[in-house]
Amino acid sequence: MDARSVIMAVRDGAGLAPEAARWFAQGLASGAVSDAQAGAFAMAVLLKGIGPAGRVALTRAMRDSGQVLAWDLPGPVIDKHSTGGIGDSVSLLLAPALAACGVFVPMISGRGLGHTGGTLDKMEAIPGYRALPGVEALRKVVAEVGCAIVGATEEIAPADKRLYGIRDISGTVESIDLITASILSKKLAAGLGGLVLDVKVGSGAFMARAEEARALAESLVRTANDAGCKTSALITDMNQSLGHSAGNALEVLEVMECLTGSAVNEALWDVTAALGGEALVLAGKAADLDAGAAMIDAALESGRAAEIFGRMVAALGGPLDFVERYPDRLPSAPVFRMVTSPRAGFVARVNARALGEAVVRLGGGRLVGTDKVNPAVGLSGLAVIGEEMAPGEPLAMIHASTEAKAEEAVRAVLAAYELAEDLPEEPALIHDRIGPEDVA
């Protein structure tokens, strides 16, 4: 077998057989497949598709191109993945809440991509936190604490890492087949017994339209289940920031306020509980979704999730007293600027993508891959759809490194908000659910 024959088969609409997928994934990992061949393969998949069976074959092949973890723990191993959004810090709440419910969570996460925030960047806003500790440290922390939020090592799905970079420069990012295999190969390499997916839809999501989000959710759920991992998905709203804050340290601050009960963002809490309910049903820990969500509520309300979060942070190099002293431990920006409403009205629409891009330009994300992220910058106090504004009332607070960057962000935030005279309908937090039974 050779790369040319695999590419030609996909190009001609013959799909991707398991043996071809295995050969190509190993070639990606070893370097036997050239960049040109990888780009041609990605374009052939984008244009012709590989179908449900091909998605499973490519997912399994890229999973098996590196180390696949196996666990010997006294409970189920479960994880969650989000397709990316603004102010979406659910993972930081959900991992310790699930651990408090007797589930083990090796949460292998990513960095910010484009206008969306990254879980690893948020965790690295905590001084000393080691987001890339290696597989053995991951095993130890998960076994002792119950959860660990870390990044993938070089040994996890190396074929995906190679193909991911090729997709970015070859115009093939949008392929649902490739997106599905990329997301799931890394997750399944973590040795999961179950996976819950948060597929975002709206102005701040990669999938802005409902039909796109549903197609991706169905592809992910079907492929994961066919590959042997019990999986369900929620399609959740990203027509505005999920949290009141967007920016790495600011989102961690909001998470800690939720975990400690000092200030609770109901939308963030409710999405966390809904996803947690799904995970606990998949894990066999809850009889139904409502019971599972109630268990997550209890873990958050009781402080058990906060205690586990603190233990995880300490075990991965962060401050021992982070839960008690988080406002002092997190970095803060030197420049603050309030953005005020130019007139009276109700917040009718929010361009969430524009808010995410404003955070990136403040330094809270990457314009190019080599950019260093400033964890302190971002937006807080974000007004939400349906909120009534008087002239001069705050739409958001900008946290910036310089006056010039703050002024640029003011203009971006004002352009992202649309006011109307009439009270708009607030978007639903959860638009749809795709369970294993929906794709069987």
Active site residue 122: no
Q: Which member of 65, 119, 153, 180 is catalytic?
A: 119
Active site residue 82: yes
pLDDT at 165: 81
Q: Which letter, b or e, does each residue of 214-253 get, where b requires 16 or more Cβ atoms within 10 Å of its Cβ?
A: bebbbbbbbbbbbbebbbbbbbbbbbbbbbbbbbbbbbbb
Nearest to 264 by CA among 322, 306, 295: 306
pLDDT at 73 over 90: yes
Q: Fold match between 78-325+430-438 and 335-420?
A: no
pLDDT at 369: 63
pLDDT at 295: 98
pLDDT at 279 over 90: yes
Residue with tokens 């398991």: 18
Give the type of residue at 285: K
For the domain covering 335-420, report its CATH number. 3.90.1170.30
Lowest mean pLDDT among 165-169, 246-250, 386-390: 165-169
Active site residue 88: no
Angle, to 10 degrees, between the axis of helix 210-226 and the axis of helix 51-63? 60
Asked if 313 and 319 count as a contact pair (C-beta separation under 8 A), the reply is yes
Active site residue 341: no
Q: Which member of 79, 121, 160, 237 is catalytic?
A: 79
Confidence of residue 116 (pLDDT cuts 50, 70, 90): confident
For the domain covering 78-325+430-438, report its CATH number. 3.40.1030.10
Q: Which member of 48, 59, 65, 82 is catalytic?
A: 82
Nearest to 90 by CA among 100, 76, 80: 80
Fold (CATH) for 3-63:
1.20.970
Active site residue 79: yes
In order, the DSSP letters of 139-190 are HHHHHHHSEEEEEPPTTS-HHHHHHHHHHHHHT-TT-HHHHHHHHHHHHHTT
CB atoms within 10 A of CB 166: 21
The pLDDT of 386-392, averaged and rounded, is: 97
Which residues fall within 8 angstroms of residue 344, CB to CB, at 6 or more apart?
A: 389, 390, 391, 419
Q: State how far the Cα of 283 lies from the Cα of 296, in Å rounded to an integer.
A: 13
Active site residue 185: no
Hey, where are the domains in the chain?
Answer: 3-63, 78-325+430-438, 335-420
Confidence of residue 430 (pLDDT cuts 50, 70, 90): very high
The pLDDT of 17-36, averaged and rounded, is: 97
State pLDDT tens for residues 333-382. Answer: 999 999 999 999 999 999 999 999 999 999 998 776 677 899 999 999 99
- Three-state SS at 385: coil
For the chain, the average pLDDT equals: 95
Q: Which member of 81, 122, 329, 405 is catalytic?
A: 81
Active site residue 209: no
Active site residue 431: no
Q: Which member of 186, 214, 230, 353 is catalytic?
A: 186
Q: Which member of 116, 182, 231, 380 is catalytic?
A: 182
Which residues fall within 8 angstroms of residue 133, CB to CB, at 6 or more apart?
A: 141, 148, 150, 316, 317
pLDDT at 123: 96
Q: Which member of 80, 122, 222, 285 is catalytic?
A: 80
Nearest to 92 by CA among 311, 291, 251, 325: 251
Active site residue 187: yes
Residue 292 to residues 195, 271, 280: CA-CA distances in angstroms?
Answer: 15, 13, 6
State pLDDT tens for residues 140-197. Answer: 999 999 999 998 888 889 999 899 888 877 888 789 999 999 999 999 999 999 999 9
Residue 203 per-residue DSSP state:
T
